[in-house]
């Protein structure tokens, strides 16, 4: 059993000292109920040989000193001194009475995970799902080919096997903490996939191609046509955070097109491929979306883009809020040093995807 130099104890002794409940002992690992979160299922894993611990539910982890310090609410220096007094040559009683921290009873929102973590979890999630025949037919009506649907990783929101999907993600080593769309049940400690409406799942990809968020195009439209996969207001849930959606944009491109929506960008780019109008797209997940646009301007400048073709829906000609957003985008882009090229077409085709379908797929 390994010991840290100058520490007269190992992590198993500290687990016993603190009274942390061990559910299963494999000889090399202890599976414990985490004392730092509302854990009822033994999510804390203690590796005896390495003298380290980690809770797969709340993310707390570290070595012997971190475990003692976090539990007793002291710094690492004090933890070292107290453990030396407790387990040193003279032994003795603990210098303080260690009390478990009260488990949270309020709804806790986790900070959003990194783009790398979200991309890995969402990519694995989409790989477990399929696109139902109804959605395939609807997308074919929109002009997409089957191979394009697969390339875009469009999927149907799951309605069954949700527990099995979550289990499979965990077995693959995916992190669910801080990933919008996942939360933890307060009573059971089980992770849950939060689906709030049926529809087509659309990956929202950043400039590196990573999936930062997932939009859902709803089958039944009430107040809105889209929603973002989220677990806000759930226990250990996370609020969604979309990014500018990039498709066909590469370093060295001088021109990109700007429009609204993940699907609109994907369709327009697919339709234009191989034509004189082939060009990468940036889709903002909403109108207006100025913070996303500011990020897009910085990223486009960093890869050498010079001109932005503004191709928002043609209804800007009749909708005041769309016109104001379009004008603001042009103003912000020009102020950032881009050549701004507003593109106008007839209202017979509302979006750029409708326009490009008419030009390149309906012939």
CA distance 29 to 52: 10
Give the tokens for residue 37. Answer: 């979160």
**Inter-CA distances, 17 with 2, 20, 114, Å:** 17, 8, 35
Which residues fall within 8 angstroms of residue 273, CB to CB, at 6 or more apart?
A: 248
The per-residue pLDDT for range 58-115, each reduced to its tens digit, is 788 999 999 999 888 889 888 888 888 888 776 554 444 454 444 444 457 899 999 9
Q: What pTM was computed for the model? A: 0.69
Which residues fall within 8 angstroms of residue 268, CB to CB, at 6 or more apart?
A: 257, 259, 281, 311, 351, 352, 353, 355, 356
pLDDT at 91: 55
The per-residue pLDDT for range 34-59, each reduced to its tens digit, is 888 767 778 899 999 889 998 887 78
Give the tokens for residue 159. Answer: 């309605």
The bridge status of strand 307-310 relative to strand 339-342 is: parallel
pLDDT level of residue 122 (50, 70, 90 thresholds) = very high
CA distance 275 to 271: 8
Sign of CA dihedral 57, 61, 64, 66: negative
CB 134 within 8 A of CB 189: no
CB 287 within 8 A of CB 260: yes
The per-residue pLDDT for range 247-305, each reduced to its tens digit, is 999 999 999 999 999 999 999 999 999 888 899 999 998 878 899 999 999 999 999 99
The per-residue pLDDT for range 182-232, each reduced to its tens digit, is 999 887 889 999 998 899 999 999 999 999 999 999 998 766 788 899 998
352-360 vs 262-272: helix axis angle to the nearest 10? 20
pLDDT at 195: 92
CA distance 193 to 165: 8
CB 341 within 8 A of CB 279: no
């Amino acid at each position: 059993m390994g010991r840290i130099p100058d520490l007269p104890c190992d992590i198993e002794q500290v687990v016993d000292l603190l009274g942390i409940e061990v559910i299963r002992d494999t000889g090399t690992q202890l599976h414990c109920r985490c004392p730092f979160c509302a854990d009822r299922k033994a999510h804390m894993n203690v590796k005896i040989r390495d003298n380290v611990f980690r809770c797969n539910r709340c993310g707390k982890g570290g070595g012997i000193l971190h475990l003692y310090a976090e539990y007793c609410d002291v710094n690492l220096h004090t933890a070292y001194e107290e453990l030396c007094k407790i387990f040193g040559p003279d032994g003795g009683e603990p210098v303080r009475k260690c009390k478990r921290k009260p488990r949270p009873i309020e709804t806790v929102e986790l900070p959003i995970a990194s783009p790398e973590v979200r991309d890995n979890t969402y990519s694995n999630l989409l790989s477990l799902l399929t696109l139902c025949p109804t959605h395939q037919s609807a997308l074919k009506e929109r002009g997409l080919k089957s191979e394009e649907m697969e390339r875009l990783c469009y999927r149907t929101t799951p309605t069954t096997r949700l527990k099995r999907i979550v289990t499979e993600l965990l077995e693959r080593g995916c992190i669910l903490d801080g990933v919008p769309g996942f939360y933890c049940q307060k009573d059971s400690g089980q992770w849950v996939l939060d689906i709030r409406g049926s529809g087509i799942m659309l990956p929202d990809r950043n400039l590196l191609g990573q999936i930062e968020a997932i939009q859902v195009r709803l089958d039944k439209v009430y107040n809105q046509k889209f929603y973002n996969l989220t677990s806000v207001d759930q226990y250990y849930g996370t609020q969604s955070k979309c990014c500018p959606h990039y498709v066909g944009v590469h370093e060295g491109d001088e021109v990109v097109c700007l429009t609204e929506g993940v699907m609109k960008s994907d369709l327009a780019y697919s339709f234009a491929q191989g034509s004189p109008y082939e060009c990468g797209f940036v889709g903002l997940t909403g109108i207006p979306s100025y913070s996303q646009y500011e990020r897009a301007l910085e990223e486009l400048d960093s890869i050498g883009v010079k001109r932005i073709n503004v191709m928002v829906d043609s209804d800007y000609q009749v909708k005041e809020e769309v016109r104001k957003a379009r004008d603001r985008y042009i103003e912000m882009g020009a102020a950032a040093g881009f050549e701004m090229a507003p593109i106008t077409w007839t209202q017979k085709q509302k979006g750029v995807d409708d326009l490009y379908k008419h030009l390149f797929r309906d012939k």
